[in-house]
Amino acid sequence: MKAALFKGKGHIELGERPLPTIKEPSDAIVRVVMGCVCGSDLWYYRGINPHKEGSIGHEFIGVVEETGKDVKDPTKGDLVIAPFTFNDDTCPNCKAGFQSQCNHGGAFGNGDTDGGQGEYVRVPYAAATLVKVPTGDYSEDMLASFLSLSDVVSTGYHAVVSAQVKEGDTVAVVGDGAVGLGAVMGAKLLGAKRIIALSRNPDRQKLAKEFGATDIVEERGDGAVKAVMELTNDVGADAALECVGTDESIGTAAAIVRPGGMIGAVGFPTYKEFEYRTLFWKNIGIRGGVAPARQYIPMLLEAVLNGKINPGKIFDLRTDLDNIKEAYVAMDERRAIKSLLKVSEP
């Protein structure tokens, strides 16, 4: 089958991988309908984080082609959303709602396992992992919205949940990438009254506003802190959603939260200087991590189906596997927020 192959820093290309087959009775084989490129894939591409050569991509929706004998639901022909990590739903971490920390789980597209940037994927613990989409005739935009729940919107939402955003809150979102935009949407969904998006990119500002941002702050660093403090009458935000992971971004997040507030952290942590004790002295909490997308997808899917949210708009470059290089390069050059790969018809 065709699949994107990671070949080291700056090298991504379309190649061949063996068609996956059922290995365990709890497996399913899913034909990928849409995949996409994640911000974390870019970190591999840029050589900032290591990635094994081979399969890549961990976000996808697809149609179930075959199931192991233990998989009763979903069944062949079902359209499904795959969270970016698989999980068995039996371990204590799954039971606590943190399926991304499943004791028997793992990630798609890690070099060895099939990835979302290919034609087929073997999904372990398919009954526990996959979320079935109700039968229907969906537009490409709707499919794109389903796809966005696989990781990026669920991850943004995890920042919102981790920061315990509630009705009426003032929330500041640090990061205008796809995850940050998902966080804006999630904050709106949970009733935040004021959503301040930090962004200096006009296209992303526009999308942030569509998703629910009430204010845009273009400044960075100290300027951003000053601007947010002015917008909040020198109080600070109830919550800051940290969707970048650098020292600058987490420093900004820490500086714009009011005493007693929360930081929801989902940016891949590359910070080196950040010290928790700076939060302690302001009674600010921090919580987050790798999003348990499996926990959030059913609720977010409902919101998509009801037309309450339209997260598929995050994909501003829509291409296919044959153009995998451009899908990466456009994001690397910040010409695209997020690249969608149409792989097959649903």
Is residue 280 a contact point for a second copy (CB under 8 A)? yes
At closest approach, how far in Å is the CB of 287 from a second copy?
3
Residues 240-259 that bind a second copy (CB under 8 A): 258-259
Is residue 89 a contact point for a second copy (CB under 8 A)? no
In this chain, which of 38, 257, 286, 341 binds a second copy, going by CB under 8 A? 286
Residue range at the interface with a second copy (CB under 8 A); choices 40-48, 94-102, 133-141, 319-327: 94-102
Please state, in angstroms and rounded to a whole number, the distance separating the CA atoms of residues 140 and 248.
37
At closest approach, how far in Å is the CB of 306 from a second copy?
28
Query: Residue 220, class by beta-carbon neighbours within 10 Å (0-12 exposed, 13-18 middle, 19+ buried)?
Result: middle
Q: Strand, helix or coil at 286?
A: strand
- DSSP assignments along 191-242, one per residue: T-SEEEEE---HHHHHHHHHHT-SEEE---HHHHHHHHHHHTTTS-EEEEEE
Around Cβ 142, how many Cβ atoms within 10 Å?
A: 17
Query: Tokens representing 195?
Result: 């959503």
**Is the CB of 101 or the CB of 214 nearer to a second copy?**
101
Return the bridge partners of 16, or none.
Answer: 2
At closest approach, how far in Å is the CB of 74 from a second copy?
26
Is residue 281 a contact point for a second copy (CB under 8 A)? yes
At closest approach, how far in Å is the CB of 277 from a second copy?
4
Query: Tokens representing 76?
Result: 């062949």
At closest approach, how far in Å is the CB of 260 from a second copy?
4
Is residue 323 a contact point for a second copy (CB under 8 A)? no
Counting residues that bind a second copy (by CB under 8 A) gives 34
In this chain, which of 2, 104, 206, 287 binds a second copy, going by CB under 8 A? 287
Is residue 154 a contact point for a second copy (CB under 8 A)? no
Is residue 283 a contact point for a second copy (CB under 8 A)? yes
Query: Tokens representing 22?
Result: 């059922």
- 57: closest CA among 115, 6, 10? 115
Residues 100-139 that bind a second copy (CB under 8 A): 100-101
Q: What share of the chain is helix, strand, coil (3-state, %, to 5)?
A: 35, 25, 45
Is residue 282 a contact point for a second copy (CB under 8 A)? yes
Peptide bond into 74 cis (omega under 30): yes
Q: Strand, helix or coil at 183?
A: helix
**Is the CB of 42 or the CB of 235 nearer to a second copy?**
235
At closest approach, how far in Å is the CB of 318 from a second copy?
32
Residues within the interface to a second copy (CB under 8 A): 92-93, 96-98, 100-101, 162, 233, 235, 258-260, 262, 265, 269, 271, 274-277, 279-290, 292
